[in-house]
């Protein structure tokens, strides 16, 4: 319980750092971009508005995943975390499409950036780059212990901010070289990166929400862990699927049918313990069958017939 409370406190602390980091980036880049007509900076600041909303959602919703199971949520609140991360991805992708539209329109009608202000524009980007790098490194460091998919989404978004600020810098450098058309081009590049990252975050977390299966390699690892028990003769009717970010396992395990009930119970408990040692595995449900009777094979043959 104490470890879970520590993880929850760390989760909230990192979420607040992301909120405050995005507030600073929005204020500095937004003010400079609007004052001097830089679409690249405005696009980068607008992206951070979405990041700010997403980090607030993670702060409010994501910490609910640490709440204990109750009468209305007997399996706990683990799905709140990927739901928060999915919202992050959706907001990012939606905003990216809007920014791409604005970039194309700005490129067609001609850039309105103040070419004499490139030093101030570059200073704003340096602030954005350094602040987001610091938030990213802190989020990743804490999440090595917490293991939160929502914090991982925020970390990806911080990294995405670093990429977008670098892309926006291309526009500012173009302005410094007397090529203001680089500004909307950089804004468009930022937008494409934003859309891609949002889609990737959403795609990853949909599997967590709909009960998708883990990778074949992970399933093989789980199955082999059960088969490694010296009393296990075989495994069938194996299922592994996501319940939130945890993997839930169901399987029938074949053991010596002459064992006493107590001996069989000890084998079952040991198999459950071993399988739970696999990274990412949560609940494990084992049904014991006496080896050699082949009833499951007969049932499979009947279904095929």
2-210 classified as CATH 3.40.50.300 = no
Using 50 as the pLDDT threshold, list the residues of the chain that sit under it.
1-2, 71, 73-74, 77, 298-305
HSE-CB for 144 with a 13 A CA cutoff: 6
- For position 46, what pLDDT does the model report? 77
- For position 80, what pLDDT does the model report? 61
- For position 1, what pLDDT does the model report? 46
Strand partners, 242: 247
- For position 106, what pLDDT does the model report? 66
- For position 141, what pLDDT does the model report? 92
- Do domains 2-210 and 216-304 share one topology? The answer is no
Q: Where are the alpha helices (DSSP H) in the chain?
A: 2-36, 39-61, 80-109, 118-146, 149-176, 182-210, 216-227, 261-276, 295-304
- For position 74, what pLDDT does the model report? 47
Question: Can you give the residue ranges of every domain in the chain?
Answer: 2-210, 216-304
Query: What single-letter DSSP state applies at residue 233?
Result: -
- For position 111, what pLDDT does the model report? 60
Q: Is the pTM of this model over 0.85?
A: no
216-304 classified as CATH 3.30.70.1350 = yes
- For position 304, what pLDDT does the model report? 36
227 in Cβ contact with 142 (< 8 Å): no
CA distance 150 to 265: 38
The first and second tokens of residue 200, run together, are 């990737």
């Amino acid at each position: 319980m104490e470890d879970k409370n520590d993880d929850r406190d760390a989760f909230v602390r990192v979420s607040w750092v992301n909120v405050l980091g995005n507030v600073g980036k929005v204020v500095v880049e937004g003010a400079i971009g609007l004052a001097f007509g830089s679409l690249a900076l405005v696009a980068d600041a607008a992206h951070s508005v979405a990041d700010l909303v997403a980090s607030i959602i993670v702060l409010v919703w994501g910490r609910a995943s640490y709440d204990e199971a109750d009468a209305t949520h007997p399996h706990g609140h683990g799905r709140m975390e990927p739901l928060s991360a999915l919202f992050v991805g959706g907001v990012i992708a939606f905003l990216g499409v809007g920014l791409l539209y604005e970039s194309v329109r700005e490129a067609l009608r001609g850039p309105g950036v103040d070419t004499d202000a490139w030093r101030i524009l570059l200073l704003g980007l340096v602030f954005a780059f350094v602040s987001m790098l610091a938030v990213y490194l802190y989020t990743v460091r804490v999440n090595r212990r917490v293991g939160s998919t929502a914090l991982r989404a925020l970390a990806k978004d911080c990294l995405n901010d670093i990429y977008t600020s670098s892309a926006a810098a291309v526009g500012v450098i173009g302005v410094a070289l007397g090529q203001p058309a680089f500004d909307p081009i950089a804004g468009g590049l930022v937008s494409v990166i934003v859309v891609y990252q949002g889609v990737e975050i959403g795609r990853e977390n949909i599997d967590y929400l709909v009960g998708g299966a883990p990778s074949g390699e992970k399933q093989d690892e789980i199955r082999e862990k059960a088969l490694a028990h010296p009393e296990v003769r075989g495994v069938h009717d194996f299922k592994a699927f996501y319940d939130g970010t945890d993997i839930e396992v169901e399987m029938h395990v074949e053991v010596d049918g002459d064992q006493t009930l107590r001996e069989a119970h000890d084998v079952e408990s040991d198999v459950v313990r071993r399988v739970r040692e696999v990274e990412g595995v949560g609940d494990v449900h084992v049904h014991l069958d006496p080896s050699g009777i082949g009833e499951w094979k007969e049932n499979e043959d009947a279904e095929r017939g």
